[in-house]
Structure 1
Amino acid sequence: MGVTILTPYPLQNKSGAEAIEELSKRLLALGATQAGQFLVDGDIFEHSFKKIKIHVMHNSEYPASVFSILDNGQKQIPLITDLIFDLLMLKVNPIYSSKKMIKIESKGPRFELGDFLVKLGSVTMSQNQNFKGILIEVDYRPCLVPAFCWDLIKEFLQGLLGQQAPTAIPGYFTNTLPSNNPNQHYHRFNDTYQPIDTVQQYLEHFNNYRKQSQAPTI
């Protein structure tokens, strides 16, 4: 595990399959090798009478873990558990019920290129597998603090995506967070990166896709 940056990829009149194929060819031309497939999925369980949501997510990089985020509208509390948590959520139904129509996943090929791990995700939502867009995950494995390697990751993305590469630090890392000292705040940009950070980035993008009223062509 290293530092992971997640960025959406604009389709520019391409289908999702065409975009994945084009990006795969670019990576292979740069010398990358394909290293299997990946899957990140997210479900929402809502309390029957309280305004509380539990986001339950899985990442194929951590097959024995369940990532859950309790959201009361004002604060998010992350939790990492084993797979028993999935069974627990089934047992608390109907107190917490799954919103299957907004269940979402990102899946596709993963590539290794030197110290980088790149995943090209096709994002689909609901039981009908409605296509929502493309998410690119770039993991720079030797680094553990985003501030130490953001410039290197940005340069890598520019080499892969050209003008479509992000130039600004993702908001997930620059948002001001409270600390134990009420007079001090900190940013994730200078903090040690953890697997839950990848999941929370996916959650941000998944929620953005859920808000889309229309889906592009798959």
Structure 2
Amino acid sequence: FDVPVAKQDLQLLLSETFDEAGRPSGFEAAFDYATSLFDAASVEAIAARLIRVLDAVGRDRHAVVGDIEILGADEQRALAPARGNPDAAVRTWPELLAAAVALDPYAVAVTYRGISLSYADLDSWSNRIARMLIDYGVGPETFVALALPRSIESVLSVWAVAKTGAAFLPVDPNYPADRIAHMLEDSHAAMGLTDIDSRGSLPDTVPWLVLDDPEISAELSRYPADAVTDVERTAT
């Protein structure tokens, strides 16, 4: 249609047509668009997609709208290279850490308040914590509460719990005591990891390992630092 000024940003105009006998013979259609927002090629592409949808439902009245292919062959070919690289292999958290250790064991993995741990340190100390947790009965299908502020110990604990096959439950030590108690009871957490500063505000719903307690630190240092095996994870 000869419309000199677009009244809308993009508008579809339809007009029913009739043959000489006055019988319906179809529709004529046009797009009216603002040239400041669309160019002719873009609107032609929109029109082509509309025709594909109409053709699909015209051929099959039971067609599912979400299954109709609206892109043309050229568009499909243009999008195909944008699908990215092949999927990465599925790996567990412990396997991801092991790969990082193998790549550069002495690279800095964690830094907090002037203290840094390399990937090798993070791996070995989280192995020790994991072995202690396993000795306490932690393993697959169990939860361990982590009531720790942001710290190196909090990172070590996440990796340690993952290495046991258990799941960790993050608990903010600043939560009200009754809320923490509810979280521990609701999750059926087997035990928890915390630090000296946080222990006093935590309920005794579960046994707590205080990681920076001198006795616990000494006990941890006696555990082997080598990788936790699948047999150890499933022993519980």
What's the TM-score, normalizing by structure 1?
Answer: 0.24
Structure with the higher fraction of residues in helix conformation: 2
What's the TM-score, normalizing by structure 2?
Answer: 0.22
Greater RCO (Cα-Cα under 8 Å, separation 6 or more):
1
